[in-house]
Amino acid sequence: MEKYVINGGNKLYGRVKIQSAKNSVLPILAAAVLTDGKVRILNVPHITDVGNMVKILIRLGCKAEYSGEDILIDSSSANCFEIPSGLAHELRSSIFLLGSLISRFRMAKIAFPGGCDIGLRPVDLHLNGLKRLGVEITEKNGYILCKCEKLTGNEIMLDCPSVGATENIMLAAVKAEGATVIKNAAREPEIEDLQKFLNAIGAKVSGAGSGTVVIEGVKNLGSTDFQPMNDRIEAGTFLVAAAMCGGEVELERTSSENISSLLHKLRENGCNIHTKNDKIVLERSRRLMSVKSVETQPYPGFPTDLQAQITALLCICKGQSIVTENLFETRFKYVPELRKMGADITVINRSAFVRGVERFKGATVIAHDLRGGAALVLAGLAAEGRSEVLDISHIDRGYGSFEYKLRAIGGDIARVAI
């Protein structure tokens, strides 16, 4: 067990290089199972979600070899279609393997996935999509069992634009017979990245980034070296950190387009933001003003994965705000922790009513999930005095070298064994 000890109050100055996107790397790792070719994924972030996905691939019989920041996956030796509950519970993204395994083995057995406890997180859309491709599915003793004679392309209409369901169906359809059309597909940039990767190994996928994704089945897939897109949520977290602490921070290897909804809010708050090519610079010298409301939405709306961080920021802005979470039911678990630090927030149903206070005060708080945990770290950095953030294994799931990157720009934060 480890915790962060933070002495708050330092302004942040300097550069941060943004990691490859967790939510892009995970489905790409799952996609590597589809091919007998060799796949090299470049600049893979050192986060536990990736480590757990690699453990699962090895369990399935794939070879995985790290070389510096890159990872080489060779799935030609894959010989197992079952993911045991211990590993599936560590990682929600293990569900993506359903699409890849059914495509490769015509069989898959996977325990219901775990991941951040931020709501019900059903997988009905994933399963209904696979059924439309000809997969027979039964659920027994906490396991999902899938089998099929063959996969046949079909039209699939998603009830809501689920990121995971869109990706899972893409993976299952890549080698199906005929064309699959996913309607009301999620439009997140990570889906476009998965399309790029699949096409790089020889698939025929188009339309990702729009509401309709078309996958024409192919027989064989090959090898590639692939650089995943940058992590827009990590980028957003560092921008909010700079907005909360003050100072001037430059992000490298990022894309302003991918987080325009956040930049829009931060500008409304009073931050100075400049963007050029793959760089974003945020400067904040005065106290920020609240924005009236933030509502999470599927992309290109405000990302649910930045909801906790922006709420922490609004807690120390001048004025009142309402933050509404439309995607996940229990994504306000960090709120009682922020209250321990002096925040004035009331949660009613899916909305948090925030009344800005002058500053956070240092306290001992507990991270309950990945993004909520990151928000607590930001609050600690901006607070007066010393804070401790416990249960930081949640944060390690998604932020590589978090404390090193924060220290490099002036944050006083240390990882301490308990």
Q: Which is nearer to ligand UD1, 23 or 290 (CB)?
A: 23
Q: Which is nearer to ligand UD1, 121 or 394 (CB)?
A: 121
DSSP state of 202: T
Residues 193-199: contacts with CB under 8 Å, at least 24 apart: 193/21, 193/24, 193/28, 193/228, 193/229, 194/24, 194/27, 194/28, 194/31, 194/167, 194/170, 195/170, 196/226, 197/28, 197/31, 197/224, 197/226, 197/228, 198/31, 198/170, 198/174
The DSSP string of 263-323 is HHHHHHHT-EEEEETTEEEEEE-SPPBP-SEEEB-STTSB-GGGHHHHHHHHHTSBSEEEE
Distance, in Å, from the CA atom of 401 to the CA atom of 409, rounded to the nearest integer, reads: 13
Q: Which is nearer to ligand UD1, 3 or 331 (CB)?
A: 331
Contacts of 264 (CB under 8 A, 6+ apart): none
Binding positions for ligand UD1, rule: CB under 6 A: 23, 26, 92-93, 119-126, 160, 162-165, 186, 190, 304-305, 327-328
3-state DSSP assignment of residue 42: coil
* Structure tokens that stand for 15 in this block: 């550069």
Burial class of 112 by CB neighbour count within 10 A (0 to 12, 13 to 18, 19+): middle
Q: Which is nearer to ligand UD1, 296 or 387 (CB)?
A: 296
Give 160's Cβ-side CA count (13 Å radius).
12
- In the bound complex, which residue of the shown chain has the CB atom lying closest to ligand UD1? 164
Neighbours of 243 (CB within 10 A): 30
Closest CA to 144 of 93, 92, 87, 85: 85
3-state DSSP assignment of residue 371: helix
Contacts of 395 (CB under 8 A, 6+ apart): 4, 367, 370, 373, 374, 377, 389, 402
> Least distance from C-beta 126 to ligand UD1, angstroms?
5
Q: Which is nearer to ligand UD1, 162 or 269 (CB)?
A: 162
Contact 279, 302 (CB under 8 A): no
Q: Which is nearer to ligand UD1, 100 or 304 (CB)?
A: 304
317 is catalytic: no
* Structure tokens that stand for 344 in this block: 């004035």
Catalytic residue among 62, 116, 146, 317: 116
Q: Which is nearer to ligand UD1, 81 or 328 (CB)?
A: 328
Distance, in Å, from the CA atom of 13 to the CA atom of 410, rounded to the nearest integer, reads: 6
* Structure tokens that stand for 259 in this block: 């987080």
Active-site annotation, residues? 116
